[in-house]
Amino acid sequence: RGYKAGGYQFDRSGLVVPNPDGSQLEFDPETADAFEIGLKMSAMHGAVRANIAAFDTRFNDYQFNYLLTAGTGETQRVVINLPELRTRGVELETFFAPTEGLHLTFAATYQDVKFGDSGFPTSLAYLEGQQGINAPEWVVSGSVNYETFVGDNLKAFFYVDTRYQSETAVSYSAGISDAYRQDGYALVNARIGIGADDNAWRLELWSRNLFDQAAWASIGSGVFQSGTTQGYAIEPRTFGATLRFNIQ
């Protein structure tokens, strides 16, 4: 059982125009009942490990935070309690070290995140029974890490990881139509470098979002532009170098 206290949003944008009232800034406590069962496995003296778990969590009086575009065109931040949000699914985590210096990981999560099907405020009744916002059904990730000695005193390494998430609603204004959905996409990050075998120093060349994947992190209704959407993109490809020293 989890508990999140209620409170007040101290931002006047939470007041509802044209009839503002102080009580509109108040939201109630939220509770969560969570159940999980799983299995942890290990073989080959720890070179192979796997964890699998099934989970079921029900949020009651869920504190839902979103931006509302008022009839005046102004954007208002609203925190409101929704009767229920439920997330159920299965997750798998694995680790494999086939040779010295080589580590492989793989993880996958399937989750069914749905809003409750009754009792919602009239303005948000369209959310009833719908997929949760920012809750993709599938998240899959993996990584490869390899280290090897170069000469007597140097160690080289290579690391790459990827993460895929399926289609999901990414609206910060509670929209769930196709206009507020992001297609599934994958991101790849990588590092390569060399350093002292005693970790006294280390030089890394790295890149995040290596293949410059374009995607929306969040989308919402356009301000003062009725019928439009606007959003924030994920970080584009970045790259750089890092030099580390361990001074003892």
Quote the DSSP letter at residue 183: -
Per-residue model confidence (pLDDT) at position 13: 63
Q: What is the pTM of this model?
A: 0.85
Query: For residue range 182-232, what is the model confidence (pLDDT) as tens digits?
Result: 999 999 999 999 999 888 999 999 999 999 999 999 998 776 666 777 889
Torsion sign across C-alpha atoms 95, 97, 101, 104: negative
> How many Å from the N-terminal Cα to the C-terminal Cα in the chain?
45
- Of the pLDDT bands very low, low, confident and very high (cuts 50, 70, 90), residue 69 is low
Span 90-106, pLDDT tens digits: 999 999 999 989 999 99
What are the pLDDT digits (tens) for 49-63? 999 999 999 999 999
- pLDDT tens digits, one per residue of 144-176: 999 999 888 899 999 999 999 999 999 988 888
Average pLDDT of every residue of the chain: 90
- Do residues 52 and 38 lie in contact, with contact meaning Cβ atoms separated by under 8 Å? yes
Instruction: Please state, in angstroms and rounded to a whole number, the distance separating the CA atoms of residues 177 and 171.
Output: 9
* 141: Cβ contacts below 8 Å, ≥ 6 apart: 105, 106, 107, 108, 161, 162, 163, 164
- Tell me: pLDDT of 76 over 90: no
